[in-house]
Amino acid sequence: MFRCHGGQSVGKGTYWDLSNGERIDAHRTMALPGGEDRHYMKLPVAGVFLAGPLAGLLFTCVILFLLVTLLFLPRTMHASEAVISEEAKTCLGCHATPGMSTTFRYKSTLSVHVNESHFQNTVHGFLACTGCHSDVSLDTHPASQYASKREFALHVAEA
């Protein structure tokens, strides 16, 4: 393979512009476009007929290798389910009960049900309940009594 630059006089053949991949076919002696900063490569005629199919074959082999590799990856490479802490299991013992709610002094109610599968598949599955609910103690829970949802919401916002 022969290297040339822009402005150089070349003979008949196929030239590839290495800066933009453009193909130039010279049917007679001519000057290559551009200045000396543009580089060209002359491929023998047989090179054009061999390079295309070989590039296609290489691409096909790479794609097949990637597909086979992904197909046979071990199961351990995939994410595993979160392990729920013992404290969370204790809390979910009650809070996973569908329809569980608390009633405030002014007789309004609030659902305290926690869907266990949603809990496990979020960031909460990795945390202990008291990480956020630090004022809750299993010894005194559910002793806190709030007058209304608003009072409870203000308490939660302050915590």
- 24 plus 90 within the same structural domain: no
- Of the residues 76, 104, 138, which one is the last residue of a structural domain? 76
- For the whole model, what pTM was predicted? 0.44
- 99 plus 147 within the same structural domain: yes
Tens digits of residue pLDDT in 62-92: 999 998 888 877 655 555 566 777 888 888 8
Q: Is residue 51 part of a domain?
A: yes
- Of the residues 76, 107, 130, which one is the last residue of a structural domain? 76
DSSP E strands: which ranges in 18-85?
A: 23-26, 30-31, 39-43
Give the Cα separation of 47 and 27 in Å (integer): 17
User: Which residues lie closer than 8 Å to 152 by C-beta, 6 or more apart?
Assistant: 104, 110, 146
Q: Supply the range of the domain harboring residue 11.
A: 2-76
Give the Cα separation of 18 and 143 in Å (integer): 78
Number of folded domains in the chain? 2
- Of the residues 51, 76, 101, which one is the last residue of a structural domain? 76
Q: Is residue 81 part of a domain?
A: no
Q: Is residue 65 part of a domain?
A: yes
- 63 plus 93 within the same structural domain: no
Q: Is residue 52 part of a domain?
A: yes
Residues of the chain below pLDDT 70: 1, 45-48, 74-82, 125, 143-144, 159
Give the Cα separation of 144 and 133 in Å (integer): 13
